[in-house]
Chains A and B, each alone.
Chain A
Amino acid sequence: MFDQIFGNFLVETGKITEEQLADVIAYESTVRVKLGLIAVAEKLLTNEQADEINQLQAIMDKRFGDIAVEKGYLTEDQVSNLLKKQGNIYMVFVQTLIDKKLMTLEEVDAALESYQSQMGFTHSDMDALVSGDVDRTVKLFLPAENDLMARHCALAVRTFLRIIHSSAYVSKAYMTDKLSVDNVAMQTLKGEHIITAAFAGVSDSLLCVADTFAGEEFDAVDMDALDAVGEFINCINGLFASEMSNEGMELDMLPPEFFDRPSELSGEKLCVMPIHIKDKDIMFITSFDEEMIVK
């Protein structure tokens, strides 16, 4: 996500244009190949093994390398070498900006400092951001609430990047007690805690989730499209409930609910995390131990 987050800051501050950012990100994908493809090219995995791991990723919420080690296909040393070959997203992004003569290294450094100052990030926060680690990045953008909420949001973003769109990125989340949305799909988990998770959209922005998850093209954010979004939330919550169950906390999943008209969400503490895909903005909303009411 670093490339999208910092890249969009560069666009907003006039350092590069939107077209140049799109070009840099497209170029990155040609030089930063997926781990599975490198492993197959290095003849460490067969195509079938790589496909199997890709499928398991959808239901296991683990990194490709971790699953490969668990299955006995790769050793930890082999994964470490493959990651080095893949390269860090920060290094690849900065190198691409320089190679394409869009910015000098000094200009990139100055822009990073400016971004750090604007966001109020510490040096440690910046280390987390440039590491490319999704969990560490998501935590930076969340308000200081409870740890479970941070883990749930991080899992949602990881699953989003894996299943819906690998170029999605987040911006600063915020707490509110009221939120107006055009449409929303939500699901509640009940047990030791009551946790509600929702994806809400502006206009037709939720179509990018519905179309990709269901594998079809919806004309509008109607109940069928929201059903697909609800099933995606069901997958996220299933992974979260599984993680919690391994730690001794059982959570029951209630059927998802949908609202295909402008609605007002309210609750004591709603955490709203904006997720961006190209020009579409959607919101991942969570509520912990407080009711989320839809009017």
Chain B
Amino acid sequence: MARILIVDDSRTSRKMLRTILEENGHEIIDEAVNGQEGVQKFQALRPDVVTLDITMPVVDGVEALKMIKALDADSKVVMVTAAGQKNKMIDCIKAGANEFLTKPFDKDEIVNVVAKLATE
């Protein structure tokens, strides 16, 4: 079981992720609606795993990832992306992203990715 922080500006995506992860025994310790709030909550809560949407207002996922990795290089961050964001994905890999999830969500993929990171 992992303590997870969900960072996504879309209520729909947050709800889908929360439902799937809670059904599989994980604890959602909080949610954030943009990258800035996500970094603040990461610093305060130190979750086991962060799911971080790439396309967000205020501070986007790539910038938030850099800030989180600066706070804790060993943090486990799963980037959430729609198809077609190749350049952003490359930026995320360079910034230390641990895994990627693609929208629309595949339930098994979410469960496997988070389980893998939680046991690393």
B12 within 8 A of A: yes
Q: With the chains together, A36 CA to B119 CA distance in Å?
A: 36
The segment from B23-31, B38-46, B66-74, B102-110 that touches chain A is B102-110
Main DSSP-derived SS at the B contact region: mixed
Given contacts A231-B13, A234-B103, contact A250 B57 (CB under 8 A): no
Question: Which one of B10, B16, B82, B102 contacts A253 once the chains associate, using CB atoms below 8 Å?
Answer: B82
Question: Which one of B86, B88, B104 contacts A59 once the chains associate, using CB atoms below 8 Å?
Answer: B104
A142: shortest Cβ distance to chain B, in Å? Answer: 22
Question: Which one of A163, A224, A253, A254 contacts B104 once the chains associate, using CB atoms below 8 Å?
Answer: A163
A140: shortest Cβ distance to chain B, in Å? Answer: 27
Q: With the chains together, A231 CA to B56 CA distance in Å?
A: 12
B48 within 8 A of A: no
Evaluate contact between B84 and A251: CB separation under 8 angstroms.
yes
B55 within 8 A of A: yes
Interface residues of A in 87-139 (CB under 8 A from B): none
Which single residue of chain B is at the shortest CB-CB distance from A230?
B10
Evaluate contact between B83 and A238: CB separation under 8 angstroms.
yes
A249: shortest Cβ distance to chain B, in Å? Answer: 11
Which single residue of chain B is at the shortest CB-CB distance from A58?
B104
Interface size range on B against A: 20 to 34
The total of chain A residues at the interface (CB under 8 A) is 32
A245 within 8 A of B: yes
B85 within 8 A of A: yes
Instruction: Encode A241-269 as 1/0 by CB contact (under 8 A) with B.
Output: 11111000011111110000000000000
Q: With the chains together, A213 CA to B10 CA distance in Å?
A: 13
B16: shortest Cβ distance to chain A, in Å? Answer: 8
B31: shortest Cβ distance to chain A, in Å? Answer: 13
B37: shortest Cβ distance to chain A, in Å? Answer: 14
Instruction: Encode A213-251 as 1/0 by CB contact (under 8 A) with B.
Output: 111100000001001101100110111111111000011
Question: Which one of B11, B55, B85, B103 contacts A227 once the chains associate, using CB atoms below 8 Å?
Answer: B11
Name the B residues within 8 Å of A250 (CB-CB): 86-87
Q: List 11 A-B contacts (CB under 8 A).
A: A58-B104, A214-B12, A214-B16, A215-B16, A224-B11, A227-B11, A234-B82, A235-B83, A245-B86, A253-B55, A253-B82
A-B interface, 9 closest residue pairs, ranked by CB to CB distance from nearest: A238-B82, A241-B84, A242-B84, A238-B83, A228-B12, A238-B84, A242-B83, A231-B12, A227-B11
